[in-house]
Amino acid sequence: MCDHCLKHGTAGKWYLNAKNYSNEIVEEYNLREFLLEQYTNFEQMSVRKLNGFNAVGLGYKMQMPIIGRVVKHFAEQMLMSTKPPTDPFKAEGHIGQVVPLDDAIAILEHCAVEPIIQKYCMCRYMSRGDKEACCINFGVMSEIIEKLPRFIPVNEKFQLTRDEAIERFKEHNKKGYIGTIWYGPYPYINNLCSCANPECAGIRPRMDFGITSIFKAEYIVHINPDECTGCKSCLSRCQFGAISYDPFEKRCIVNQKQCYGCGVCLHVCKYDALKIFPRNDFPELRGKY
Amino acid sequence: MGNKTKIKIDYSICGDGYKVDPRNCGKCLRICPPALFLLHQTLGVEQKNPYDPEVWRITPLYPSLCTRCLECVGICPEKAITITW
């Protein structure tokens, strides 16, 4: 997030700034009605036409010579917008970043505003038809979800305490879901998701169409070559295709340019060969989100 | 550009035609390897009943990702999906 973090974050991370979670922002930007409208119609956002354009057949539109670049430009401009949001049917200022487990715990412990809830993931519902309670919401967003029964988990707890939320997040992370934190809309942070590729509507544009809709984490995974036995258990965990097996060296290697730093591979390594390091430690990867 | 995959869903059988509610079926959503279908309310989209958020339909959102495995065509209980290229 580069200069954005220096302006709005603590310790160089925008999502660790408690100010971005406060209810004052909601009042300032008048977000209550905006968010209710947006989440009532969330699933149809990609089929709704904006300026005569919707996301149906996005892959083909992106392949068109000039139009593809225009689409990419406007989509990124919309997602990274820092202006006050105007249209609830646009994903304005709705940009996120991958967070590893430790940062997510820090968010839940120190930044997230009560009430904390868990809700059914709308991405999984709209792309798979399945309901799974793995999104954690804070503050005003929790009050909005209360009004939308299709997101409220059945037979599961809806309101969570801080510790329960951390427990839930850990569970998802160990399962292999990628932790992501979202502005929605800028500058209000209200979503801590546990995403999966290809279901996630935020990861998909970047993975499949090259639109920067989510930033890589502030971290990078590194495999210690001496401790890796080449058991390949981390291989299936990587949802970004960053880990591969080198049959000659008989160990796994990380393509650090492709690594998003989510850290879900760390949970399966029995030999502690995988470690997570700050992105800034690697001059080559510094600032490449 | 190559040849495009076209995925068509017959909405008179699935969705707006009320015969099958896609929210209760959703077999194509689950089986599709790249998850290219989208389940959404029909509000605001060109359709028979434009302002009913209780009516849902499935749109093949990203046909460019289709691997042409034809799993969705086979699993659809109403035979509503056709794929051409």
B1 pLDDT more than 60: no
DSSP letters along A79-118, please?
HT--SPP--TTS-TT--EEE--HHHHHHIIIIIPPSPEEE
Q: Which residues of B touch A71 (CB under 8 A)?
A: none
Cβ-Cβ contacts under 8 Å, A44 against chain B: 40-45
pTM of the model: 0.89
**CB count in 10 Å sphere of residue A246:** 12
Of the candidates A47, A60, A208, the beta carbon closest to that of B45 is on: A47
**Domain segments of chain B as ranges:** 6-84
Res. B26: pLDDT tops 80:
yes
Quote the pLDDT of residue A185: 86
Asked if the C-beta of B37 comes within 8 angstroms of chain A's C-beta atoms, the answer is: yes
CATH 3.30.70.20 holds for B6-84: yes
Q: Which two tokens stand for residue A28?
A: 């300032």
Average of pLDDT values for B36-43? Answer: 86
The mean pLDDT value for A264-278 works out to: 93
A133 - beta bridge partners? A120
Alpha carbons A105 and A289: distance in angstroms, whole number: 22
Q: Which residues in A lie closer than 8 A to residue B40 (C-beta atoms)? A: 43-44, 46-47, 126
User: Which residues have CB under 8 Å from A130's CB, separation 6+?
Assistant: A124, B26, B30
Q: How far apart are CA A246 and CA A229, in angstroms?
A: 11
Which residues of chain A are in CATH 3.30.70.20 domains?
219-281
Is the pLDDT assigned to residue A8 strictly greater than 80? Answer: no
Q: Which tens digit of pLDDT belongs to each residue from A229-258?
A: 999 999 999 999 999 999 999 999 999 999
Yes or no: say if A118 and A172 are a contact pair by the CB < 8 Å rule. no
Architecture per CATH, domain A219-281, reads as 2-Layer Sandwich (3.30)
Whether B11 contacts chain A with CB within 8 A: no
Average pLDDT (A2-23) is 75
Distance from CA of A37 to the nearest CA of B (A): 12
State yes or no: pLDDT of B49 exceeds 60: no
pLDDT of residue A54: 83
Contacts of A248 (CB under 8 A, 6+ apart): none
For residue A40, list chain B residues with Cβ-Cβ distance below 8 A: 53
Residue A6 clears pLDDT 60, i.e. is over it: no
| Residues A40, B53: C-beta atoms closer than 8 Å | yes
- pLDDT tens-digit series, residues A144-193: 999 998 899 998 899 999 999 999 999 999 999 999 999 888 889 999 99
Could you tell me which chain B residue has the CA closest to the CA of A45?
B40
Measure in Å the smallest separation between the Cα of A3 and chain B Cα atoms.
34
Nearest neighbour of B61 by CB, restricted to A55, A130, A199? A55
Nearest chain A Cα distance for residue B35, angstroms: 6
| pLDDT higher than threshold 90 for residue A1 | no
Res B48 pLDDT > 80: no
Neighbour tally for A189: CB within 10 Å: 27
